[in-house]
């Protein structure tokens, strides 16, 4: 493993708590069309199966599994009406940060470069980065539009970030909370650090992430330095 020059993050479930925003929008949108509200565990099971990094498509899949047919555009509209609101006043405002104050600045001083690789649309990512004054913290930001249909678990978004940062995969670490994050990181050739957000069981989800390739698993950001060292960097 080369010396780490760049630390890259997923956004949802890693830097911000989305249990009351994205997860709530999924549950309410499914209920709107089917009359049935999925449990948080059923949403997580689908995510843990992989291939549903896009919450719009995950929501559509949950609806389809009830036998109800709904046009995808209608699903997106109802989801965004809840998540974004009329003028960015929806559930997105209920996302607390998971990264402690000064954490990103400390990482940059220690490793040099920071990147963000998220499945969020560019507008939503930009809104949240601005809200927490993180816009200038990242040297490269890759969003849904940049992936051009090749979102995680495809390694392409991470490979694009490496190119923008000017680093080799062996010089980078990616911190994510999902199996798609781990699969993408391993396929891209970088160190995969699994992060368990506070709304998931640390032991159970940690096992899931390790089973899909995580080199190390952490439950708080303060443990990231040690996890990188343990991974042989």
Q: Residue 233 pLDDT more than 60?
A: no
CA distance 62 to 27: 9
56-98 pLDDT, tens digit per residue, is 999 999 999 999 999 999 999 999 999 999 999 999 999 999 9
Tell me how far apart the alpha carbons of residues 129 and 134 are, in angstroms, rounded to a whole number: 5
- Residues with Cβ within 8 Å of residue 49, at least 6 apart in sequence: 179
- pLDDT classification of 232: cutoffs 50, 70, 90: low
Segments making up each domain of the chain, as ranges? 6-17+95-230, 22-94
Evaluate if residue 47 carries a pLDDT over 90.
yes
What is the pLDDT at residue 179?
Answer: 97
Report whether pLDDT(230) > 80.
Answer: no
pLDDT (average), residues 4-17: 97
Give the three-state DSSP class for 217: strand
Candidates 3.60.9.10, 3.20.20.70, 3.40.50.1000, 3.30.360.10; CATH matching 6-17+95-230: 3.40.50.1000
Tell me whether the omega of the peptide bond preceding residue 79 falls within 30 degrees of 0, making it cis. no
Under the banding of pLDDT at 50, 70 and 90, the label for residue 128 is very high
pLDDT tens readout for residues 131-173: 999 999 999 999 999 999 999 999 999 999 999 999 999 999 9
Residues 138, 141: Cα–Cα separation, whole Å: 7
* pLDDT band (50, 70, 90) for residue 229: confident
Q: Is the pTM of this model over 0.75?
A: yes
230 CB burial (10 A radius; 0-12, 13-18, 19+): middle
Q: Is 41 exposed, middle or buried (0-12, 13-18, 19+ CB in 10 A)?
A: exposed
* Per-residue pLDDT tens digits for 93-108: 999 999 998 999 999 9
For the stretch 162-204, pLDDT in tens is 999 999 999 999 999 999 999 999 999 999 999 999 999 999 9
């Amino acid at each position: 493993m080369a010396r780490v020059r760049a630390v890259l993050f997923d956004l949802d479930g890693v830097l911000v708590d989305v249990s009351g925003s994205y997860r709530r929008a999924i549950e309410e949108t499914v209920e709107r069309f089917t009359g049935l509200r999925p449990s948080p565990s059923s949403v997580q099971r689908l995510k843990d199966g992989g291939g549903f990094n896009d919450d719009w498509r995950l929501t559509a899949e949950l609806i389809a599994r009830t036998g109800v047919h709904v046009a995808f555009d209608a699903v997106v509209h109802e989801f965004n009406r809840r998540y974004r609101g009329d003028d960015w006043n929806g559930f997105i405002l209920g996302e607390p940060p998971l990264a402690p104050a000064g954490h990103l600045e400390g990482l940059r001083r220690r490793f040099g470069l920071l990147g963000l690789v998220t499945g969020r649309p560019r507008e939503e990512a930009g809104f949240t980065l601005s809200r927490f004054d993180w816009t200038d913290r990242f040297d490269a930001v890759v969003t849904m539009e940049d992936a051009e249909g090749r979102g995680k678990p495809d390694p392409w978004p991470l490979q694009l970030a490496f190119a923008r940062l000017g680093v080799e995969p062996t010089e980078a670490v990616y911190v994510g909370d999902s199996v798609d994050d781990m699969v993408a990181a391993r396929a891209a050739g970088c160190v995969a650090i699994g992060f368990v957000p506070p709304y998931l069981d640390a032991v159970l989800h940690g096992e899931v992430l390790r089973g899909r390739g995580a080199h190390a698993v952490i439950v708080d950001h303060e443990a990231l330095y040690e996890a990188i060292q343990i991974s042989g960097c």
